């Protein structure tokens, strides 16, 4: 979104701005947050999520190599038994003082049924893309980060963007679910349909998904465009662009008056490499602008427009698995809610206004996407299409404001939380948002009557 030269000028220069007797250095930054000890008093090793805010000291760690090994852990290991994928969830889904399992050894494409791929749940999305491409197939969509495991994606309703494209669980046509009873259940729309409706988005609370069958599409090239424009223009044209483009999203950049747009469309044109990633440089520019001008929002906006407003559009052509996801080396914490489409952009505007009025420390762009409807019981997109708004803040910065200022806006407009992103809702509130909440709880009780899969966070979430 910005040239290397712009990033170097804004991010690398030694700049001092003096105003009102205060001096602010561009290099000014907060210290690293304190880290938990690497081992606890019983010599249990630390597990920590990607951003660092969720952690635990599991008594048992296991990496089974097949379904029988998964079943053995479920039946015999100290509870609660939890599965860790990439650790990219910000909520406390994984932490356990019992058994922590990884499915990294149960990965890869195990077979095909026509154009549907049978995939082991430990497979990372970044590996699945090229594996499908070898057969000329592709996933219909990908999230903006591809480090997650397939099982983790299904557990949290991970999604990409596209008005006619469902979240990843929407392409699942069958599952294998290992349970605490020792059974491995096969389910689809006809066989164990209630378990199928519950398991496609289940937060790891029914059992362990070991395998999924996925619909795929032809592996065509996509034309990727990235361009910067005034936020008002992006808001005015967003609905038109969701209707026009196969994939479209935009990032509202607080304190700049700008938005970065990203579209992807199928094309028969020859590949054009994406080029080096500039997202990290873009974030560094925004952080330095914050550090330099936090005392003056107008100055920050003027500087951003001068540095970024005239950025040249970027274009690339290539396979979807190469373009739809992006490297995210800069850590952050995140709250994302999914809103009815009629409230989507209204809620976004209020979020931007609130941040600009009350949180001058925020510099991360706000991600705005659209997702098609599905019928899965705990899917945030059940019953109608939804628009997502994701608010990020740097991992060194305070994120309590997400609960105090931003979540009330999302709830006011009928939002449902992303299961892997920060929220504070519990069973009573969630039951009002999901028509099949009690149906899910009944399946959960049937498959795990003693709660061996429930850590303290999930017990609160489900009202156990």
Task: Please report which residue ranges of 261-392 form alpha helices under DSSP H.
Answer: 279-293, 297-308, 320-323, 344-358
The DSSP call for residue 31 is: P
Contacts of 310 (CB under 8 A, 6+ apart): none
Residue 40, number of CB atoms within 10 A of its CB: 14
Domain boundary among 176, 199, 218: 218
Q: Which of 9-18, 296-305, 383-392, 410-419 has the lowest mean pLDDT?
A: 9-18
Q: Give yes or no for residue 215 having a pLDDT over 90.
A: yes
Q: Are 225 and 214 part of one and the same domain?
A: no
- The whole-number average pLDDT for the span 331-339 is 97
Residue range 115-149, pLDDT digits in tens: 999 999 999 999 999 999 999 999 999 999 999 99
Residue whose structure tokens are 């991010």: 11
Residue range 160-175, pLDDT digits in tens: 999 999 999 999 999 9
- Can the peptide bond before residue 80 be classed as cis, meaning omega within 30 degrees of 0? yes
Q: Are 261 and 392 part of one and the same domain?
A: yes
Contacts of 203 (CB under 8 A, 6+ apart): 93, 155, 156, 378, 419, 458, 461
Nearest to 202 by CA among 168, 170, 169, 155: 155
Q: What is the CATH number of the domain that holds 290?
A: 3.40.462.10
Residue whose structure tokens are 């950049």: 253
Q: Give yes or no for residue 3 having a pLDDT over 60.
A: no
Q: Are 140 and 208 part of one and the same domain?
A: yes
Q: Does residue 15 fall inside a structural domain? A: no
Q: Does residue 296 fall inside a structural domain? A: yes
Kindly calculate the radius of gyration of the chain based on its CA atoms and give it in whole angstroms: 22
Half-sphere exposure of 385 (CA within 13 A, CB side): 19
Q: Are 150 and 192 part of one and the same domain?
A: yes
Q: How far apart are CA 91 and CA 334, in angstroms?
A: 10
Q: Give yes or no for residue 361 having a pLDDT over 70.
A: yes
Q: Give yes or no for residue 19 having a pLDDT over 70.
A: no
Give the pairing type, strands 314-319 and 332-340. Answer: unpaired
Confidence of residue 66 (pLDDT cuts 50, 70, 90): very high
The percentage of residues in the chain with a pLDDT greater than 90, rounded to a whole number, is: 86
What pLDDT sits at residue 278?
A: 79
Average pLDDT, the chain: 92
pTM of the model as a whole = 0.94
Q: Does residue 32 fall inside a structural domain? A: no
Q: What is the largest CA-CA distance in the chain?
A: 72
Q: Are 389 and 368 in contact (CB under 8 A)?
A: yes
Q: Does residue 209 fall inside a structural domain? A: yes
Q: Which helix (H) or strand (E) holds 260?
A: strand 258-267
**What tokens were used for 33?**
């947050």
Q: What is the CATH number of the domain that holds 139?
A: 3.30.465.10
Q: Does residue 96 fall inside a structural domain? A: no
The DSSP call for residue 66 is: S
Half-sphere exposure of 400 (CA within 13 A, CB side): 1
Residue range 249-296, pLDDT digits in tens: 999 999 999 999 999 999 999 999 988 877 888 899 999 999 888 768
Q: How far apart are CA 174 and CA 118, in angstroms?
A: 9
Give the pairing type, strands 332-340 and 247-253. Answer: unpaired
Q: Are 376 and 282 part of one and the same domain?
A: yes
Q: Are 391 and 406 part of one and the same domain?
A: yes
Domains in the chain: how many in total?
Answer: 2
Confidence of residue 311 (pLDDT cuts 50, 70, 90): confident
Q: Are 199 and 345 part of one and the same domain?
A: no
Domain boundary among 417, 436, 459: 417
Residue 35, number of CB atoms within 10 A of its CB: 10
Q: Are 194 and 335 part of one and the same domain?
A: no
Question: Helix, strand, or coil here: 364?
Answer: coil
Q: Does residue 44 fall inside a structural domain? A: no
Length of the chain: 464
Residue whose structure tokens are 């925004």: 286
- The whole-number average pLDDT for the span 202-211 is 98
Q: Are 335 and 364 part of one and the same domain?
A: yes
Q: Are 226 and 322 part of one and the same domain?
A: yes
Confidence of residue 28 (pLDDT cuts 50, 70, 90): low
Q: Does residue 93 fall inside a structural domain? A: no
Domain range for 205: 109-218
Q: Give yes or no for residue 21 having a pLDDT over 90.
A: no
Domain boundary among 218, 246, 266: 218
Q: Are 140 and 284 part of one and the same domain?
A: no
Q: Give yes or no for residue 18 having a pLDDT over 80.
A: no
Q: Does residue 11 fall inside a structural domain? A: no
Q: Are 203 and 228 part of one and the same domain?
A: no
- The whole-number average pLDDT for the span 238-244 is 98
What pLDDT sits at residue 112?
A: 98
Q: Are 363 and 300 in contact (CB under 8 A)?
A: no
């Amino acid at each position: 979104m910005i040239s290397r030269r712009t990033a170097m000028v804004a991010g690398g220069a030694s700049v001092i701005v003096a105003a009102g007797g205060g001096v602010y250095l561009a290099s000014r930054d907060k210290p690293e947050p304190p880290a938990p000890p690497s081992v606890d008093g019983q010599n249990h090793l630390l597990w920590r999520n990607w951003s660092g805010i969720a952690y635990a000291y599991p008594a048992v760690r296991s990496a089974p190599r097949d379904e029988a090994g998964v079943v053995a852990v479920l039946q015999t290991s100290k509870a609660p038994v939890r599965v860790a994928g990439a650790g990219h969830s910000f909520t406390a889904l994984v932490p356990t003082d019992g058994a922590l399992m990884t499915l990294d050894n149960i990965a890869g494409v195990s077979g095909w049924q026509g154009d549907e791929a049978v995939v082991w749940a430990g497979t990372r999305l970044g590996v699945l893309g090229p594996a499908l491409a070898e057969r000329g197939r592709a996933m219909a969509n990908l999230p903006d980060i591809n480090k997650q495991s397939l099982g983790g994606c299904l557990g949290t309703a991970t999604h990409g963007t596209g008005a006619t494209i469902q979240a990843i669980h929407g392409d699942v046509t069958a599952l294998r679910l290992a349970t605490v009873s020792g059974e491995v259940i096969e389910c689809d729309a006809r066989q164990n349909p209630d378990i199928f409706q519950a398991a496609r988005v289940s937060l790891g609370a029914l059992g362990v998904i070991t395998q999924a069958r996925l619909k795929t599409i032809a592996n065509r090239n996509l034309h990727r465009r990235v361009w910067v424009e005034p936020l008002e223009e992006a808001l005015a044209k967003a609905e038109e662009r969701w209707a026009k483009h196969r994939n479209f999203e935009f990032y509202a950049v607080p304190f700049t008056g700008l938005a970065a747009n990203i579209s992807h469309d199928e094309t028969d044109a020859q590949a054009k490499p994406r080029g080096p990633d500039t997202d990290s440089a873009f974030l560094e520019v925004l952080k330095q602008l914050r550090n330099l001008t936090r005392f003056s929002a107008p100055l920050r906006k003027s500087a951003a427009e001068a540095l970024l407003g005239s950025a040249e559009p970027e274009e690339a052509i290539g396979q979807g698995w190469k373009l739809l996801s992006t490297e995210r080396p800069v850590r952050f914490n995140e709250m994302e809610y999914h809103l009815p489409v009629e409230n989507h952009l209204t809620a976004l505007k209020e979020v931007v206004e609130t941040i600009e009025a009350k949180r001058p420390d925020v510099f991360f762009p706000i991600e705005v996407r659209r997702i098609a409807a599905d019928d899965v019981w705990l899917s945030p997109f059940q019953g109608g299409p939804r628009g997502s708004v994701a608010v990020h803040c740097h991992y060194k910065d305070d994120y309590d404001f997400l609960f105090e200022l931003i979540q009330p806006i999302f709830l006011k407009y009928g939002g449902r939380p992303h299961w892997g992103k920060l929220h504070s809702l519990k069973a009573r509130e969630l039951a009002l948002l999901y028509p099949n909440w009690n149906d899910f709880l009944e399946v959960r009780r049937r498959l795990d009557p003693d709660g061996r899969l429930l850590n303290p966070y999930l017990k609160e979430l489900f009202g156990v």
